[in-house]
Amino acid sequence: MSQHIFRTIPSVNKLLESPELSPLTGMYPRQLIVDTVREVLENIRQAFTGKTDVPQPDRIQLPFSDISHFQKEAKGAEDLTQLQTVDISPQRICQLVRVSLQQKLCGIEHAINATGIILHTGLGRAPLTDKAAKQLEHTLKSYCTLEIERFTGRRGSRYHSIEQLICMITGAESAFVVNNNAAAVLLTLDTVAKNKEVIVSRSQLVEIGGSFRMPDVMTRSGALLVEVGTTNKTYLSDYSNAITEHTGLILKVHQSNFKIVGFTESVDIKDLVSLGQTRTIPIAYDLGSGALIDLQKFGLPHEPTVQEAIKAGVDIVTFSTDKLLGGPQGGIIAGKKKWVDLLKKNPLTRALRVGKLTIAALEATLRLYLEEDLALQEIPTLKIILAPLGVVEERGKRLRDIIHQETKISLSSSLIDGVSEMGGGTLPGETVPTKLVSLHSEKIPAEELATQLRGNTPPIFARIEQGRVLLDMRTVYDTEVDTIATALEKISSGFIRNKSADYADKEDK
């Protein structure tokens, strides 16, 4: 039986010369195409012999639905008439080859964020400003003045301009930048509190994004954690009672991705600073999000700003540069010269060093903050958060109207109210009102529709609620509305379905 099927599988050469695959030779390296064709054919053969359960770590994985599709047909193919229904046509195989090639070479690419999560770690957190993007393009295609003093020709510091900007913007005496905020916290603990006790409130032993747990970072750095207070209440006396001759640091961690509500008590940073000064113990404040503009004046809840922390006299403030700040990934350490200079001398800084990409983009972003209005006008994260609902609604109406008017789109849609989330460990539990384009199709279930949207180029990420696909118009750019409409057109005509990596036959469902 299987012999018969094997004979019907087209040969590698025949496939390579087929009109479906020959155009790919300009797009992918030839050897990669040949190898992929072989792999796909081998997978098909294995599916027929029922060996696909054997783990094949070095072999590409076909989309699961495809394998089960083949397997089912192979198992059910009891007689020859059924065998002829097995789809191993060159077209079908070429389609699998194309999907597999795409999967092998797909990397970071432009995506449309219709999830409404403004700082979406999966989608790269803060989108960069035009200025930062231009800076990357202009400066980095050539040699650049990364670590050289232009006027003397002497070796300089790559951190110089970032430090100056941070000090100008926040009033800090000194500043430094590392790979991310996790690195900033690690460097702080390693420098100031190695083999010493660090006092932290129990309510602040947070986990951020799965792999960053405050207690684990402390252990790594060799600091000894001293927990004080309870989950909901910590008093100044809890801190002062915990101070011993071994205390190296008092650390406050901003509860950036959760909220404790109800019967709560926490110690103001100013009181901690006074305590630290009286007992000569440095105070570090992990701010997480690193707001440089107080968003309270725009009706948003208060998120502690870096300026406030510096003004309060905190010795070491750490924050991310790709959250509210709106820059590339990075972590800034700002504060008192005495402490920041000590951090700079730690040999670990070499391992946590940022590259010229980060420096170029961060410099361009920070420069905007020298004039608050400019930052508000130009930084995408801030613009997205502060966009008036009317603007979001207009964008939504435009998409809805195209969907209604375009006869090639066979989906029903409506514009509904909803909320966008900050995400990325910023303003926990706080939402911003938004407008959502709700999509519904008689033929395509919501999950499948969302999958097909992701299969578009560029991929479109949406959310699903109560059987509807929702496109949050706050995080969608104006220029992306037409792209979404075109994608919906392609989905309606079945075009993306056939290209999709998640291709699945109806009866597989």
Ligand X SMILES: *Cc1c(COP(=O)(O)O)cnc(C)c1O
Residues that bind ligand X (CB under 6 A): 180-182, 208, 212, 253-254, 256, 286, 288-289, 320, 331, 425
Between 73 and 286, CB nearer to ligand X: 286
CA distance 115 to 206: 25
CA distance 82 to 76: 8
Q: Which residue is nearest to ligand X (CB)?
A: 288
- Let me know: does 226 contact 276? Beta carbons within 8 Å: no
- Let me know: does 420 contact 472? Beta carbons within 8 Å: yes
Which pair of structure tokens corresponds to residue 91?
């077209």
Between 238 and 322, CB nearer to ligand X: 322
Between 212 and 477, CB nearer to ligand X: 212
CB of 230 to ligand X, least distance (A): 20
Query: How buried is 199 (Cβ within 10 angstroms: 0-12 exposed, 13-18 middle, 19+ buried)?
Result: buried
CA distance 498 to 368: 45
CB of 169 to ligand X, least distance (A): 18
Between 288 and 335, CB nearer to ligand X: 288
CB of 126 to ligand X, least distance (A): 11
Nearest to 67 by CA among 58, 78, 56: 56
CB of 282 to ligand X, least distance (A): 18
Between 288 and 326, CB nearer to ligand X: 288
Q: How many helices (H) and strands (E) does the chain have?
A: 22, 15
CB of 491 to ligand X, least distance (A): 34
CA distance 187 to 193: 10
Between 396 and 425, CB nearer to ligand X: 425
**Strand 112-113 vs strand 460-461: parallel, antiparallel, or unpaired?**
parallel
CA atoms within 13 A on the CB side of 53: 2
Between 98 and 252, CB nearer to ligand X: 252
Between 95 and 320, CB nearer to ligand X: 320
Between 290 and 455, CB nearer to ligand X: 290
CB of 287 to ligand X, least distance (A): 7
CB of 504 to ligand X, least distance (A): 35
- Let me know: does 235 contact 267? Beta carbons within 8 Å: yes
Which pair of structure tokens corresponds to residue 280?
């000569």
Run of H or E residues at 17: helix 12-17
CB of 425 to ligand X, least distance (A): 4
Which pair of structure tokens corresponds to residue 419?
């909320």
CB of 224 to ligand X, least distance (A): 20
Which pair of structure tokens corresponds to residue 339?
């402490």
Cis amide leading into 458 (omega within 30) = yes
CA atoms within 13 A on the CB side of 95: 18
Facing residues of 435 across strands?
A: 417
CA distance 59 to 501: 17
